Amino acid sequence: ETVLTQSPATLSLSPGERATLSCRASQSVDIYLAWYQQKPGQAPRLLIYDASNRATGIPARFSGSGSGTDFTLTISSLEPEDVAVYYCQQRKNWPPLTFGGGTRVEIK
Amino acid sequence: EVQLMESGGDLVQPGGSLRLSCAASGFTFSSYGMTWVRQAPGKGLEWVSSILSSTDSRTFYADSVKGRFTVSRDYSKNTVYLQMNSLRAEDTAIYYCAKLLSPGGSNMHFDYWGQGTLVTVSS
């Protein structure tokens, strides 16, 4: 099973700051990694798929990068509505499909 | 507009059974695989099961539910089901259905999610 480790667990930043979230895989997943945003009380929403492709309707301030075992989700300028938990998910080595434990983004 | 609507969640005793439904609309249901993901209270996301499209009817399960849960779909009703048997306390979670990003089963990322249905397993 491919384990995804996300860091940090919590990120607290001011509006306008750059947020950098990390996802590390226990084995290579090539580029087959997605990022999801889950706001309180809501279902997850797909942000990025296959490491760097923004999903439909996702603002340009969200970007993804990486390959192999190390991936990054960047929010270039944090907005108050970006408060959420962010999860990564791999589709290279499955079953099982696996998710990371999540990074909580807070506004200072 | 793509819509996914789960139903069937309830309070059930350990060892009991439940069937979840996910009614889909706004896309060509037969062309896309579907998946179930759950989230225990205050916890992260856990993949449960996936079923591919009409051209490839394979099903897949997490080890934690294999032999107890069965995923199926009814193309005439545009609905996917999750039959859950021998339920345990650790199955307590919100269960989401989600649509695969691309037709077939080649891309196991999920672009649309339902609002979820709560399953509570407790005596």
pLDDT tens for the 108 residues of chain A, in order = 999 999 999 999 999 999 999 999 999 999 999 999 999 999 999 999 999 999 999 999 999 999 999 999 999 999 999 999 999 999 999 999 999 999 999 999
Residue B11 has pLDDT above 80, yes or no: yes
Contact A6, A103 (CB under 8 A): yes
* Tens of pLDDT, residues B49-75: 999 988 888 999 999 999 999 999 999
Residues of B in contact with A45 (CB under 8 A): 113
Instruction: Check residue A68 and report its DSSP letter.
Output: T
Residue B45 has pLDDT above 80, yes or no: yes
Burial A45-69 (b: 16+ CB within 10 A, else e): bbbbbbbbebbeebeeebbbebeeb
Instruction: Please give, rounded to a whole number of angstroms, the shortest distance from the CA of B101 to a CA of chain A.
Output: 9
Chains A & B: contacts with CB separation below 8 Å: 60
At B46, the amino acid letter reads: E
Going along A1-108, which residue ranges are E strands? 4-7, 10-13, 19-25, 33-38, 45-49, 53-54, 62-67, 70-75, 84-90, 98-99, 103-107
Yes or no, beta carbons of A46 and B109 under 8 Å apart:
yes
Cα–Cα distances (Å) from B113 to A5, A45, A50, A98, B74, in that order, read: 23, 7, 18, 17, 18
What phi and psi, each to the nearest 5 degrees, are found at residue B30?
Answer: -65, -20
User: CB-CB: which of A89, A95, A96 is closest to B109?
Assistant: A89
Looking at residue B105, its pLDDT comes to 76
Chain position carrying tokens 């190390």: A70
Other CB atoms within a 10 A radius of the CB of residue A105 amount to 21
Residues of B in contact with A58 (CB under 8 A): none
Contact A30, A40 (CB under 8 A): no
Residues of A in contact with B61 (CB under 8 A): 95
Report helix, strand or coil for B90: helix
Q: Residues of B at the A interface (Cβ-Cβ below 8 Å)?
A: 35, 37, 44-47, 50, 60-63, 96, 98, 101, 107-111, 113-116
Closest to A102 measured CA to CA, from A9, A3, A1, A2: A9
d(CA B2, CA B99): 9
Radius of gyration of chain B measured on its C-alpha atoms: 14
Other CB atoms within a 10 A radius of the CB of residue B64 amount to 15
User: CB-CB: which of B61, B107, B111 is closest to A91?
Assistant: B107
Instruction: Please give, rounded to a whole number of angstroms, the shortest distance from the CA of A54 to a CA of chain B.
Output: 11
Contact A78, A21 (CB under 8 A): no
